[in-house]
Amino acid sequence: MYYGSVYGKLGRVAVVTPFGGDGIIQDCYKYLHPDIKVSEVQVPLGSVTKEGLRAMSDQVADAIKLYKKIRPVDMAHFNCTTGSLVGGPGFDKKMCEEIAEASGARKGSTTSTAVLEALKVTGSRRISLVTPTADDINEMEKGFFESAGYEIVSVAGYKTADPRNPMLIPLIEPEEIYHFAAAHTDPSADTLLISCCGLNIMEIIDQLENRLGIPVINSNQCTLWAIGKYFGAHGPEAYRLGSLFTRRFESFRGIQR
């Protein structure tokens, strides 16, 4: 019997998630290469507010310091988009450094950092932003990506019964996000960014790309892409996660090879 996924021949990654937003761990087992060993650390998120996000991000380094004392991981990743950009431009890079130092990892990473890298790779310029968060959080996120040089041509927030309650976000059905995102993508956008690690929407990324004819970037998708890229291999099912993995965005952009 083959136990590669247990022993982690390619390396080990610690993924820090907001409590309750652990869908990414299931995605890791489904889409990462089986020889990447995954461990999860949860931190509390009381509310999806600027104060709540900052309080959560301030706990990340402390939550993973045990790795450094006992057995450092190769990579440590903070899986929250707004939680890793709540401090404004450059905050994600600061968190990357703090995470690596605290865990003893060779590489520190955050989801917002991974999203920025994905937008660069896909040649994105004009972005429609879709989230499940309140307007003030959306404006904060819009400002972060604009500071990185991107034009946000539209912003739409899918509202749960209480947008401040993080536990409601994973309950949103993928089909609801599919229709909401398709309806709120600006015709002038060259990329759709569906932001929030609490959304479990991997199966709709490729469907949306087929419908819209542009790359679709999602927070958890970018996390998986960044982890696989660091370890030098993606899982056999990763091709299902859209053009970020298959490079079909080149055909969207008219790039000839």
Domains of the chain with bracketed CATH: 4-114+221-241 (3.40.50.12500), 123-218+247-253 (3.40.50.1860)
CB-based contacts of 169, cutoff 8 Å, min separation 6:
21, 48, 132, 160, 196, 198, 199
Return d(Cα 204, Cα 210) in angstroms, integer. 10
Among 54-63, 65-74, 214-223, the range scoring the smallest mean pLDDT is 65-74
pLDDT tens column, 61-105: 999 999 999 989 999 999 999 999 999 999 999 999 999 999 999
Q: Is 1 helix (H, G, I), strand (E, B) or coil?
A: coil
E strands present in 30-189: 36-43, 75-78, 107-110, 126-131, 151-157
Of 196, 185, 186, the C-alpha closest to 160 is: 196
Residue 119 tokens, joined = 């937008």
| Sheet (strand 107-110) strand order | 36-43, 11-18, 75-78, 107-110
Return d(Cα 183, Cα 204) in angstroms, integer. 14
**10 Å Cβ neighbour count for 93?**
15
Q: What is the pLDDT of residue 35?
A: 95
- Per-residue pLDDT, averaged over 124-150, amounts to 98
Buried b (16+ CB within 10 A) or exposed e, 149-158: ebebbbbbbb
Q: What's the pTM?
A: 0.94
Cβ(103)–Cβ(72) under 8 Å? yes
Cβ(10)–Cβ(234) under 8 Å? no
Q: What percent of the chain lies above the pLDDT cut of 90?
A: 90
